[in-house]
A = this chain, B = another copy of it.
């Protein structure tokens, strides 16, 4: 009896929030690995806000997922068959596996990880694309320096909580913006943020004035919309606004809420800059080493929000857009 693979494939380009009918759940036999190929059994899949962008047509930093293709996703898994001398059965690896149970690789783009050091989910969160995004966005694009006031939105999300913690490690004041008192308490009590602003229950502009007496030196934006506008109005001179994402806007069907306060960049000689973590590939190893050191020293905490079962994917993905996750959202497929 052949090994069967199950997958979520893109059935339609979503309008607004992705619906069940935008996906096809499919089944097919796993092909035996050919020469040089490696078969990976997928154990964890990373769910990221960026996935919403990959579902859209049009020019972006990466090809859109084609209709009918397995949805693109980062994952971690175990090698279960290998015709590639670089990989042995039992190796633990990460890569772009897609929303499926098995991934057949030509051996390129796989990274071996050591799960005796840290559990696999950490390699997909703090030590994965998420942590690297926070690291390069904050330190390279945002040029955060000791003494700066760093504000981050989506602060209880996977990237946001890394940003605030790295800011603290680097001697900055860290102010997080998140939705709800539980998330805010988590940021200040568990992760060492100096302050947290609950955008669902507080006046963000007023709270920013209260927590950022000398203005905002670095704003790491994951959400866009009204919060971006509120922070723009509070920039310090020579501030850096890092555009990492705009999760509040990805499912809009009536256009983007544009940043009306962008002329704050002019009066404050400030900049707003977008980036893609893939720009930094040549420096991933260096950054991951530094972050692993922080984790070992218990200065940096990785938190995952793990949901079991491939079949929950269409619903679980929506947790991101509803702000229901705290930390790195991922699917667990197997032990």
Interface residues on A, range: 20 to 34
Residues of B within 8 A of A60 (CB): 267
Contact of B270 with A273 in the complex, beta carbons under 8 Å:
yes
- Let me know if A260 and B256 touch, CB within 8 A: yes
Per the 8 Å Cβ criterion, residues 251-274 of A in contact with B are: 255-256, 258-274
Q: Name the B residues within 8 Å of A256 (CB-CB).
A: 260-263
Looking at the assembled complex, report how far the CB atom of A58 sits from the nearest CB atom of chain B, in whole angstroms: 9
- What is the chain B residue whose CB lies nearest that of A250? B263
Q: A265-291, CB under 8 A of B: which get 1 and which 0?
A: 111111111111001000000000000
Supposing A258-B259, A259-B262, A263-B243 touch, asked if A274 and B279 sit within 8 A by C-beta, the answer is no
Write out, one digit per residue, whether chain A residues 163-184 have a CB within 8 A of any chain B CB (1) or not (0): 0000000000000000000000
Contact A61 B268 (CB under 8 A): yes
A59 to B262, CA, bound (A): 15
Query: A243–B264 Cα gap in the complex (Å)?
Result: 10
Assess whether A246 is interfacial by the CB under 8 Å rule.
yes
B residues in contact with A61, CB < 8 Å: 266-269
A sample of 12 more A-B contacts (CB under 8 A), given A246-B266, A266-B275, A272-B273, is: A61-B268, A61-B269, A224-B263, A243-B263, A246-B263, A249-B263, A256-B263, A263-B274, A264-B274, A265-B274, A266-B276, A269-B275
